[in-house]
């Protein structure tokens, strides 16, 4: 059994030109107190025109112990060894940069927002 909590801040400027999201997520295994994860993330999106935008995001995650595998893995068990790469403990950092293109119906939906 585990518990989960999330908090985030989301801000959009007038006419959706800039979107900013900052958040934190944590989960705790209630049976094994040393098995928890913490994730911090941020996202910014800048809309150049109605159909073209650029975005960037970064995520930092930390887990001091594996959430899904035993503390002391049995390496003689081939099935357990095959799946260990997905549950290792430690820190991770990922980032993404991209270009958004809005075409067709999605472009129409942004134009037809009721608060415009």
Reported as a single tens digit per residue, the pLDDT across 52-77 is 899 999 999 998 866 566 667 677 87
The residue with greater pLDDT, 21 or 79, is 21
The residue with greater pLDDT, 82 or 17, is 17
The residue with greater pLDDT, 76 or 81, is 76
| pLDDT at residue 116, as a whole number | 42
Residues 53/43, Cβ–Cβ less than 8 Å:
no
Cα 72 → chain centroid:
28
Q: To which residue do tokens 């928890």 refer? A: 36
> Which residue, 91, 89, 54, 94, is CA-closest to 70?
89
Look at residue 49 and tell me whether its pLDDT is greater than 90.
no
Q: What percent of the chain has pLDDT over 70?
A: 73
Phi-psi region of 90 (alpha: psi -120 to 50; beta: other; left: phi over 0): left
Structure tokens at 113: 């927002």
What confidence category does residue 33 fall into, taking pLDDT thresholds of 50, 70 and 90? confident
């Amino acid at each position: 059994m585990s518990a989960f909590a999330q908090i985030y801040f989301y801000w959009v400027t007038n006419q959706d030109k800039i979107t900013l999201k900052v958040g934190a997520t944590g989960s705790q295994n209630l049976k094994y107190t040393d098995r928890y994860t913490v994730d911090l993330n941020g996202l910014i999106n800048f809309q150049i025109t109605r159909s073209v935008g650029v975005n960037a995001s970064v995520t930092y995650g930390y887990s001091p112990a594996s959430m899904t595998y035993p503390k002391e893995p049995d390496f003689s068990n081939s099935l357990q060894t095959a799946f260990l790469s997905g549950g290792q403990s430690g820190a991770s950092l990922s980032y993404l940069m991209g270009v958004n293109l809005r075409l067709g119906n999605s472009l129409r939906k942004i134009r037809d927002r009721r608060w415009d």
